Amino acid sequence: SNHLSDRIKNMSTSATLAMAAKARELRNEGKDIIGLSLGEPDFNIPDFIKDAAKQAIDENYSSYTPVDGYAELKTAISNKFKRDNNLDYGANQIVVSTGAKQSLFNVAMVVLNPGDEVILPAPYWVSYSDIVKLAEGVPVEVPTQIDTDFKMTPQQLEAAITPKTRMLWFSSPCNPSGSVYSEKELEGLAEVLKKHPDIYVVSDEIYEHINFTEGGHTSIAGIDGMYDRTVTVNGVSKAFAMTGWRIGYIGAPEWIAKGCTKLQGQVTSGANAIAQRAVITALDAPVSKIQFMIDKFHERRDLVLGLLGEIEGFNLNVPEGAFYVFPDISAYFGKTLKDVTINNASDFSLYLLEHANVATVTGEAFGNPNCIRISYAASEKELKEAISRIKAVL
């Protein structure tokens, strides 16, 4: 392993996947672990999507696909962008990839030169920072506060911009905080960016549909002046419970889409054929077909907030989307529980795993060392049991 590249040596392992592996290990040892660490819906894929995949197999969709995705899928994506986001993306602006994670990696590789700075409002999704580093960019974390619902203010953005700033990456609804930027808040950020025309934005909208606000979802690409400098990232993992099918996509300025296609042509040759066919059906369906999942997540959010609110030392805000809560548990730092001294969020998360048999993720992985992330993509029964165990060991 001495001969591992510096690139891999310097990379962190995905904390969420590492926690899932640890939970699996303890489960194999016979422990009854409740896993609230993964960002994975606990629903089955709707049957109409499964049927489309079966049909694709029978119809022999088994050859290499076009590198940037089937034309019919790009049409479905284009229609979806128009229908849900009022965005006009033509086929030459759309690239289908092996999950939104690959879409993000492609964009980093295509836009960043070594030393280019990427602003990441923290907390941010766990992989942003390592993807940026892989592309030899420099992540610049902008810490946000719980009293602004972990959202970056225009002033904070302005203060973080340097002559080297090349991009801003954020997710709304946000993983891990569940925060949703309103249209007005996005306009505030766009106002700052207007003064810096060379900065590009990655808007990760993978939780778009899991949004409990009255105002609904706003895409920053739709805000005045932003369309030509925004990459809108989306996928089917979260809304359609299709995490393992690995399909994500972008709508982007044509030069970025072309770059991503060029890169992908040398790396994966394109996304899985069967999954692409199934996603055509998924995206063509009205959002009402998945409303039951969204309603369930909403109920669970309220349940979890209520139960966690009864535990001393949990400072919570109200997440407005996605399926996570991100409590500040720094009140526990310096305390000793069952002979374990809690010095940081990682200690706290490990303590919950070992003593309450509940898997969560440390906020450190998301750029906030005072919080932990708890996923509520689990059954009500599991959530109640997990939180009562947490309460008992604190």
Cβ nearer to ligand PLP, comparing 39 with 46: 39
Cβ nearer to ligand PLP, comparing 157 with 236: 236
Phi, psi of 232 (to 5 degrees): -95, 120
- Does the protein bind ligand PLP through residue 237 (CB under 6 A)? yes
Shortest spacing between CB 38 and ligand PLP, in angstroms: 8
C-beta nearest to ligand PLP: residue: 99
d(CA 178, CA 366): 13
Shortest spacing between CB 101 and ligand PLP, in angstroms: 3
Q: Which of residues 30-59 bind ligand PLP (CB under 6 A)?
A: 39
- Does the protein bind ligand PLP through residue 206 (CB under 6 A)? yes
Which of the stretches 81-89, 95-103, 152-160, 162-170 binds ligand PLP when contact is defined by CB under 6 A? 95-103
Q: Which of residues 263-282 bind ligand PLP (CB under 6 A)?
A: none
Cβ nearer to ligand PLP, comparing 174 with 342: 174
Shortest spacing between CB 58 and ligand PLP, in angstroms: 26
Select the residue interacting with ligand PLP from 125, 169, 297, 376 (CB under 6 A). 125
Residues 145-184, one symbol each (x = binds ligand PLP by CB under 6 A, - = not), give --------------------------x---x---------
Select the residue interacting with ligand PLP from 69, 123, 248, 321 (CB under 6 A). 248
Q: Cβ distance 152 to 171 under 8 Å? A: no
Shortest spacing between CB 162 and ligand PLP, in angstroms: 25
Select the residue interacting with ligand PLP from 68, 204, 320, 364 (CB under 6 A). 204
Cβ nearer to ligand PLP, comparing 125 with 314: 125
d(CA 143, CA 241): 31
d(CA 45, CA 50): 7
Shortest spacing between CB 176 and ligand PLP, in angstroms: 8
Cα–Cα separations (whole angstroms), residue 290 to 41, 239, 250? 12, 7, 21
Six token digits for residue 320: 């407005």
Q: Cβ distance 132 to 164 under 8 Å? A: no
For residue 10, give the amino acid letter: N
The half-sphere exposure of 189 on its side-chain side, counting CA atoms within 13 A, is 28
Q: How far is CA 160 from the centre of its chain?
A: 22
Shortest spacing between CB 126 and ligand PLP, in angstroms: 8
Which of the stretches 62-70, 79-87, 97-105, 332-340 binds ligand PLP when contact is defined by CB under 6 A? 97-105
Q: What is the dihedral of CA 197, 199, 205, 206, to 10 degrees?
A: 150
Shortest spacing between CB 248 and ligand PLP, in angstroms: 4
Q: Cβ distance 132 to 118 under 8 Å? A: yes
Which of the stretches 71-79, 105-113, 235-243, 379-387 binds ligand PLP when contact is defined by CB under 6 A? 235-243
**Secondary structure class of 45 (helix, strand, coil):** coil
- Does the protein bind ligand PLP through residue 360 (CB under 6 A)? no
Cβ nearer to ligand PLP, comparing 241 with 394: 241
**Total number of residues that touch ligand PLP (CB under 6 A):** 13
Pairing verdict, β 165-171 and 117-122: parallel
Shortest spacing between CB 308 and ligand PLP, in angstroms: 21
Shortest spacing between CB 324 and ligand PLP, in angstroms: 9
Closest of 182, 173, 305 to residue 238, by C-alpha: 173
Cβ nearer to ligand PLP, comparing 46 with 248: 248
Cβ nearer to ligand PLP, comparing 11 with 311: 11
**Secondary structure class of 330 (helix, strand, coil):** helix
| Residues contacting residue 147 through CB under 8 Å, at least 6 positions apart | 317
Query: What is the full DSSP assignment across 142-211?
Result: EE--GGGTT---HHHHHHH--TTEEEEEEESS-TTT-----HHHHHHHHHHHHT-TT-EEEEE-TTTTSB
Shortest spacing between CB 175 and ligand PLP, in angstroms: 4
Sign of the four-CA dihedral 131, 156, 215, 299 = positive
For residue 360, give the amino acid letter: T
Residues that bind ligand PLP (CB under 6 A): 39, 99-101, 125, 171, 175, 204, 206, 235, 237, 243, 248
